[in-house]
Amino acid sequence: MLHIPHLTVLPGELTFVLGPSGAGKSTLLESLGLMKNTFQPGPNSLLDLKTEQENTIGLLDIWEDGGDRATAMRKKHFSFIFQSTNLMPNFSLGENICFTGMLEGADLGTMKPKALQLMDQLNLDPALFDQPAAMASGGQRQRAAFVRALCKRFDVLFCDEPTGNLDHENALSLFQLLSKHIKDNQLAAVIVSHDVALAERFADRIVNIELQKRNKQTIGVVQP
């Protein structure tokens, strides 16, 4: 169980979520990102997304309306990076990078210049764009997952241990790019990580989840 008394995620900021294993870090990410309906709202509970274009969107109402609306919300407003890259091995690396944008109506040729620019910033050889994803190394696939997430239009980026498969140098390069992208475009990012040093260097805000005993139960409590 996870208790969230109050949490605000702001545009232009990287919000890191830290805490011990089993505290509910991934549960928090899945809940905010509308991946799993884990909410048990109280009478005064709110979960809102505020955008310039659409003002305030009530996310709890979206869950009540059903999964299709939550799916549409994720596609339009959210982007995701996970420790597992979930790349399709029979597609080229470029097709994987551009896939979510293509689902929204963009074509590969339109998206390719931005993808190549981001690949270059992450020291990914442009020749990899047309090669099968299965030929890429683990580190290359992880960097490609970052490029895929940043190529998509979004308001909030959710990351679950996004550098777990990378060495320290590559992790720093990724977060330097991510931080610049988030701040330059006034987007928001929520990042679950076990890497305290990375959080101390790049976080605009650190949210801790503490394990507490309540009514003989151990629960995670968000401490913003």
Write out pLDDT tens, residues 98-127: 988 887 778 888 889 999 999 998 889 999
Average pLDDT, the chain: 86
Asked if 222 and 46 touch (Cβ cutoff 8 Å), the reply is: no
**Is position 156 within any domain?**
yes
Question: In this predicted structure, what is the pLDDT of residue 54?
Answer: 62
27 contact partners, CB below 8 Å, separation of at least 6: 2, 36, 38, 220
Q: What is the mean pLDDT of residues 133-139?
A: 90
Cα separation, 196 vs 204, in Å, equals 13
**Is position 97 within any domain?**
no
**CATH number, position 170:** 3.40.50.300
**Which pairing describes strands 188-192 and 156-160: parallel, antiparallel, or unpaired?**
parallel
Question: In this predicted structure, what is the pLDDT of residue 53?
Answer: 66
Q: Which residues pair with 189 in a beta bridge?
A: 14, 157
**Is position 189 within any domain?**
yes
Residue-number span of the structural domain to which 54 is assigned: 2-37+49-91+149-223
Question: In this predicted structure, what is the pLDDT of residue 66?
Answer: 65
Lowest model confidence (mean pLDDT) among 15-24, 59-68, 110-119, 169-178: 59-68
**Is position 187 within any domain?**
yes
**How far apart, in Å, are the Cα atoms of 84 and each of 138, 169, 208, 222?**
10, 19, 23, 25
Cα separation, 20 vs 26, in Å, equals 11
Cα separation, 55 vs 212, in Å, equals 36
Cα separation, 63 vs 189, in Å, equals 22
- Dig out the tokens for 41 from the structure: 């709202």
**Is position 23 within any domain?**
yes
**Is position 105 within any domain?**
no
Number of domains making up the chain: 1
**Is position 9 within any domain?**
yes
Question: In this predicted structure, what is the pLDDT of residue 168?
Answer: 86
**Is position 117 within any domain?**
no
Asked if 147 and 81 touch (Cβ cutoff 8 Å), the reply is: no
Asked if 30 and 220 touch (Cβ cutoff 8 Å), the reply is: no
The answer on pLDDT for 43 being more than 80 is no
